[in-house]
């Protein structure tokens, strides 16, 4: 018999988090999150996502043993402003038993119906800066710190239960050796002269901080037209700024500004923390933070996390300026591999940015949808 219980106490939330460690303990491709980060992420007093969202965390038990989990989420900004009557589900992990999946998702439906919502979609988090999608291809590829990994049977469970694909994403990888200066050097100089633009680069985190709010404003404007987008609030900007900017090498954050110093483009690249997180195995102490610090300084792999260009400057070659700066930085740091995080299949503009570098699509993922009325 399967029993579903809501995780409410800190101890229960920790069990919710640690179930994934048990499920993937022998899997070489799963990247464990930091337990302390997850605890904070699910804390309604600490994570500002809860200003616009609410969530319940469900654990599935059989014979007093945890066999599955999911979070049921309502993003009220999405429901009230975008009029999407959707209950989200995320942080979904389950053994290979469709009855467990069914029982967990039934709790998601109940939660959605209580609030007069019409369909469920997942796996997705609270906002666009959370992890997204169930892996459908690339199960033999290393995950990243900012994506979920899952077993191949997840998609089969969803499809057997009547779910259909809602949004599709692709991930890609290419060797840095594929990047040649001839691809962008002349274009970068031409674009700078024609539009009065220049690159703004950094050597210290404190110099980055005064510009982060403007970056998030441009992020909101750039991604607003995508079907899945929910804007980052002012409170969330401050939260992300304090929590994450320090983990990124300042030289991996590039801005492009105009003659009036208005931000017209930005890009954030992160060192790959995958191997460091595997070594840390969920714990910062006693040695986890050392593995992460080493990766920040010495990782030969980089993850392209975010890029955005003001609508006025799109299709005008502005990204050539960004690529020129990254080429110089990556050459100096002896970077070997460039990794792309999930990009919507419908976002053709972003795909066109990488086509000259010979990217290989190594993973696909999607969110699934089902009507609940």
| pLDDT at site 227 | 63
Distance CA 86, CA 79 (A): 7
Q: Nearest-CA neighbor of 37 among 280, 299, 291?
A: 280
Fold for domain 175-363? Aminopeptidase (3.40.630)
| Local confidence pLDDT in tens for the 373 residues of the chain | 999 999 999 999 999 999 999 999 999 999 999 999 999 999 999 999 999 999 999 999 999 999 999 999 999 999 998 999 999 999 999 999 999 999 999 999 999 999 999 999 999 999 888 999 999 999 999 999 999 999 999 999 999 999 999 999 999 999 999 999 999 999 999 999 999 999 999 999 999 999 999 999 999 998 877 766 788 889 998 998 888 888 899 999 999 999 999 999 999 999 999 999 999 999 999 999 999 999 999 999 999 999 999 999 998 999 999 999 999 999 999 999 999 999 999 888 888 889 999 999 999 999 999 999 8
Within 10 angstroms of residue 28's Cβ, the number of other Cβ atoms is 8
pLDDT of residue 225: 75
DSSP letter string over 96-162?
S-HHHHHHHHHHHHHHHHHTT--EEEESB-SSTTS-B-EEEE-TTS---TTS----THHHHHHHHTT
The domain spans of the chain are: 2-169, 175-363
* Superfamily of segment(s) 2-169: Gcn5-related N-acetyltransferase (GNAT) (3.40.630.30)
């Amino acid at each position: 018999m399967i029993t579903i219980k809501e995780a409410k106490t800190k101890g229960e939330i920790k069990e919710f988090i640690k179930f994934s460690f048990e499920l993937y303990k022998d899997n070489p491709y799963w990247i464990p999150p930091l337990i302390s980060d997850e605890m904070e992420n699910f804390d309604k007093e600490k994570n500002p996502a809860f200003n616009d969202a609410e969530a319940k965390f469900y654990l599935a038990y059989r014979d007093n043993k945890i066999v599955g989990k999911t979070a049921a989420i309502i993003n009220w900004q999405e429901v009230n402003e975008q009029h999407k009557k959707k209950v989200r589900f995320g942080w979904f992990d389950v053994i290979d038993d469709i009855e467990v999946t069914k029982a967990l998702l039934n709790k998601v439906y109940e939660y959605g119906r209580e609030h007069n919502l019409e369909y469920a979609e997942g796996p997705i988090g609270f906002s666009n800066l959370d992890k997204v999608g169930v892996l459908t291809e690339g199960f033999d590829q290393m995950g990243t710190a900012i994506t979920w990994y899952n077993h191949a049977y997840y998609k089969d469970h969803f499809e057997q239960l009547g779910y259909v694909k809602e949004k599709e994403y692709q991930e890609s990888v290419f060797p840095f050796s594929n990047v040649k200066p001839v691809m962008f050097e002349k274009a970068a100089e031409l674009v700078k002269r024609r539009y009065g633009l220049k690159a703004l680069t950094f050597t210290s985190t404190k110099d980055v901080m005064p510009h982060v709010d403007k970056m998030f404003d441009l992020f909101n404007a750039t991604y607003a037209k995508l079907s899945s987008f929910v804007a980052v609030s002012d409170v969330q900007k401050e939260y992300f700024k304090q929590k994450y900017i320090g983990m990124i090498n300042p030289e991996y954050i590039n801005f492009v500004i105009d003659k009036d110093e208005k931000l017209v483009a930005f890009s954030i690249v992160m060192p790959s923390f995958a191997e460091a997180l595997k070594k840390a195995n969920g714990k910062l102490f006693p040695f986890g933070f050392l593995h992460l610090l080493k990766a920040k300084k010495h990782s030969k792999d980089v993850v392209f996390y975010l890029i955005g260009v003001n609508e006025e400057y799109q299709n005008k070659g502005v990204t050539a300026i960004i690529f020129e700066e990254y080429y110089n930085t990556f050459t100096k740091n002896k970077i070997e591999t460039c990794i792309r995080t999930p990009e919507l299949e419908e976002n053709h503009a972003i795909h066109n940015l990488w086509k000259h570098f010979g990217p290989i699509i190594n993973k696909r993922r999607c969110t699934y949808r089902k009507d609940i009325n």
